[in-house]
Amino acid sequence: MTYSAPVADLALSLSAAGHDALRERFFPELDASTVAAVLDAAAVFVDEQVAPLNRSGDRQGARLTSDGVVLADGFAAAYQAFVAGGWNSLAAPEAHGGQGLTRGLASALSEMLAGANLSFSLCPMLTAGAIEALSLLGNERQKTLVLPKLVSGEWTGAMCLTEPQAGTDLAALTCRAEPDGPGGYRLTGQKIFITFGDHDATDNICHMVLARLPDAPAGVRGISLFLASKHLIGADGSLGERNSFSVVSLEHKLGIHGSPTCVMAYDGCAAELVGEPHKGLAAMFVMMNAARLQVGVQGVGVAEAARQLALGYARDRRQGATVLGSGDGPIFDHPDVRRNLMLITAKTRAARGICLMTAVLADLAEQAEGEEAAQAAARQMLLVPIAKAWSTDVGVEAASLGLQVHGGMGFIEETGAAQLYRDARITPIYEGTNGVQAIDLIGRKLRLDEGAAMRALIAEMAQADAPGLAEGLSALSAATEWALAHPGADALAGATAYLQLAGDVIGGWALAREAQLAGSEDCATLARFYNGQVLSGAAGLAAKVMQGAGDLTAWSGD
């Protein structure tokens, strides 16, 4: 299995997403040559040190020993090289030791990591969520002693939310936090599905744990967020004795074998409050929203890896008489094989465009002022569930189509196509299933300010010089107005179709912008192909949205 970071495609997509205008206004030290140098250096690191561990990490996996979790061979050393190269701190705040570069660049790096080795990429992704939370909500001690270590990557972070009885429904969580007297807390309970909850790549791991205080009200309004460190942190920042939480077991999973998914037990472990009591849900969403975008980026990374693998195989493999070439060429010259490859390529680029657009908007919302910042924030909020769900669906589809291009050889583990499919399948599930993202989009994000953000986006897309986009925009506009007029079960019944429709159309817009910017026939061809193969189904998706919940209500399940 080979992977080569798609530097040129990432650079084009960044520019089309508005990254050039953003950096010129708000990051003047980040000129075009610096962006190119960062992308090139990241590609060298990822291709040489991370990608070679993907196959071996899948085969060996992480393992639980008496001393804790041991990562697959090479993972810890690669992580240390990642930290030494400054990659963990790329977009973190300068005030806490970060480089203060753009989220767009950080997302480009995240895509490279995910494409090269999805299991490896999960560790820095979880740390980034902890950095976001402590940057916004941490107290002075946490910002002084903990945050710089997370930013540098010397320590890693883990999000500890889910419990056996409380997955999406966090109102059901029972992990307890008891005051210890001196101002700290003691946590007791169990968490499951904790990615990189323990490992041997760093000396310390900071768990961000949701738990309930003794006086907590029922439901999600009674959740608080706590920081529990693997080793106790002294007043001078030094590490002390081992805290009282441990790994009960590692999950046996379909894919991402190189990433340890831990069942954690907290046995009265020392912890400190992050933010205000009973405000943990809002704190969780600070971490979750950052993670959701990066999961979408992971979907793009896997899709790109599948594209490269399938394209390489199709250009080498000869099977049967072909019609698009000389008649005895590779399977690339079979129409259906080439159609699959074009669909993978077009959707991968569309998903990349959506994710980088969302990252640029996050920076714009933070850097701009007044109405401009508010509009950027509103559009970013609208796009996050689309970036997460649509892009991860694309990742699974691309991995599946890539396996299909390989034929029977794709079903054999040695080709690597099967691993990509197994690894990709988790991305539509974690950080909120894609069904939850669809509900969030149509039930909440769309309705903020009575649909103003989506209507503004549709109006802007309508100004694009992309004739093939018109049919999709008409369908999206009709579905949007119907959904706004039909709250409740009727809208929720069409939530997944609405998110797919929105992703299809916005992805087509992203491709059109890239084609216009690049001025190349290949980009224009892909945009036309996407319009014919994807946007031609927009009216059908709109019909699904507007079908309502009547049949769902009537069906008994028999």
Q: For residue 503, is it within any domain?
A: no
Model pLDDT for residues 217-256, shown as the tens digit of each residue: 988 889 999 999 999 999 999 999 999 999 999 999 999 9
Q: Is the pLDDT score of 327 beyond 90?
A: no
Question: Do 141 and 14 belong together in one domain?
Answer: yes
Residue type, position 391, single letter: S
Rounded to whole angstroms, the Cα distance separating 91 from 94 reads: 9
Rounded to whole angstroms, the Cα distance separating 123 from 476 reads: 37
Picking from 77-81, 112-116, 170-174, 272-276, which range would have the lowest pLDDT averaged per residue? Answer: 170-174
Question: Do 45 and 90 belong together in one domain?
Answer: yes
* Average pLDDT, rounded, for the chain: 96
pLDDT for position 1? 58
Q: For residue 457, is it within any domain?
A: no
Question: Do 121 and 73 belong together in one domain?
Answer: yes
Last residue of a domain, one of 281, 315, 348: 281
Q: Is the pLDDT score of 431 beyond 70?
A: yes
User: Which is more confidently placed, 326 or 556?
Assistant: 556
Q: Is the pLDDT score of 264 beyond 90?
A: yes
Give 168's pLDDT tier (boundaries 50, 70, 90): confident
CATH number of 211's domain: 2.40.110.20
Give 380's pLDDT tier (boundaries 50, 70, 90): very high
Last residue of a domain, one of 223, 248, 281: 281
Question: Do 168 and 145 belong together in one domain?
Answer: no
Tell me whether strands 68-70 and 231-233 are parallel, antiparallel or unpaired.
unpaired
For 213-220, what is the mean pLDDT? Answer: 91
Rounded to whole angstroms, the Cα distance separating 296 from 385 reads: 9
Question: Do 198 and 274 belong together in one domain?
Answer: yes
Number of domains in the chain: 2
Q: Which stretch of DSSP H or E encloses residue 261? A: strand 261-274
Question: Do 14 and 135 belong together in one domain?
Answer: yes
Length reported for the chain: 558
For 471-476, what is the mean pLDDT? Answer: 96
Of 111, 132, 431, 514, catalytic: 431
Name the region of 86 (left: φ>0; alpha: ψ -120 to 50; beta: rest): left
Question: Do 104 and 189 belong together in one domain?
Answer: no
Range of the domain at 189: 155-281
Q: For residue 113, is it within any domain?
A: yes
Model pLDDT for residues 94-111, shown as the tens digit of each residue: 999 999 999 999 999 999
Question: Do 59 and 146 belong together in one domain?
Answer: yes
Question: Do 163 and 141 belong together in one domain?
Answer: no
Q: For residue 49, is it within any domain?
A: yes
Burial bucket for residue 199 (CB in 10 Å: 0-12, 13-18, 19+): buried
pLDDT for position 352? 98
CATH number of 126's domain: 1.10.540.10
Cβ atoms of 3 and 308 closer than 8 Å: yes
pLDDT for position 188? 98
Catalytic residue status for 304: no
Q: Which of 352, 361, 419 is nearest to 392 (CA)?
A: 352
